[in-house]
Chains A and B, each alone.
Chain A
């Protein structure tokens, strides 16, 4: 399965970044082989629409799952429409650990709250 994790650095030891649209790095990880591709988030400093741009990137890369600390409403909408699952990591943990927890079915899937 292909997942993308919002991360603070460019390898599996980096922390999961709490933000989806504004994180510095995206790690595209194959959950079986743990092969990992790191891409700089060029939208991190976008004036607006960082979330939608990152969601579009995730869809272009054909990921099955997004793992992040929080996903905003616009990115959520794009990912939902694209059929991508969103898993939320509530704690400050490494990307490697997040992948492990995901494989053990320990991560919660995101439900959008309507305010």
Chain B
């Protein structure tokens, strides 16, 4: 089973839940797909033993073969190539690596070369197989790197995927094809607004979901009301507790700081399993 952990709103406790759920599970894969700001390693403290560079194919133009016809610029959906009189200008940070330009070039003047966008690191944390992606600073495109992190999923392995906040392309890439998505939210208007967006996204992807309400005794009742109306199960509630925040700030997981959560986390896993099998 592959469980993704997403949220909509940022800072609601995705990593808190994902890391402790992984420790509760005790084995399987842990994939930190928040490649713009990976932080699960701070909690799971894996011993990294593999580091792979990840790139995307970008065009390299041989101007001696180029007839400056401009077809490459025309086909580029992202305006990453500009052809002016006797010059071809390329803007690597705009390129999505689709290969359209080299495919369409009538002079065969464009070949594809690899441009690094980040790295994937792999290691072990106890029995947990830990993998995360680190996007290079300033790099705008996370999905190709997330795909490389997710390539480590084999059929039959259990995996927990920690996604980034929001509902943009990196989140879609991270949660896509997971068996179940856990949405961590807080009972505030902000939490609810972004939870709705996340639920909408998951419905389009046809991924079943359930909700964890963190800081459950602050805010209002609207998240609970929404979940009830939309028939979304609330699988766990975590009260506001300063000790959780203090532990987080020191890189200590929920389950290590407050072992009394062991039980509710095991129950959470059981509930997800039952929903998944249904």
Contacts and interface: CB of A to CB of B under 8 A. Distances in A.
Given A49-B94, A52-B91, A74-B94, A82 B80 contact: no
Chain B interface extent, by class: 10 to 19
Contacts of B79: 43, 46, 48-53, 56
A38 interface: no
Interface in B61-119: 73, 76-80, 82-85, 87, 89, 91, 94
B39 to A, nearest CB: 27
Contacts of A87: none
B73 A81 contact: no
Contacts of A55: 82
A25 B31 CA distance: 46
A77 B82 CA distance: 10
B84 A52 contact: no
B87 A52 contact: no
Given A56-B84, A81-B84, A48 B89 contact: no
A110 interface: no
Interface in A55-86: 55-56, 59, 74, 77-78, 81-82
Best-surrounded residue of A49, A50, A77 (most CB of chain B within 10 A): A49
A49 B83 CA distance: 14
B254 to A, nearest CB: 38
A47 interface: yes
Nearest to B87: A81
B82 A78 contact: yes
Contacts of B78: 46-49
A48 to B, nearest CB: 5
A21 to B, nearest CB: 9
Contacts of B91: 49, 52, 74, 77
Contacts of B89: 52, 77-78, 81
A48 B94 contact: yes
A53 B79 CA distance: 6
A56 B82 contact: yes
Contact of A56 (B73, B77, B94): B73
A52 B82 CA distance: 7
Nearest to A49: B79
A18 B239 CA distance: 48
Contacts of B94: 48-49, 52, 74
8 contacts: A47-B78, A49-B79, A49-B94, A52-B82, A56-B79, A74-B91, A81-B87, A82-B85
Given A49-B76, A74-B94, 11 more contacts: A43-B79, A48-B94, A49-B79, A52-B79, A52-B89, A52-B94, A55-B82, A59-B82, A74-B91, A77-B89, A82-B84
6 smallest beta-carbon distances between A and B, as pairs: A49-B79, A53-B79, A52-B79, A49-B94, A82-B84, A48-B78
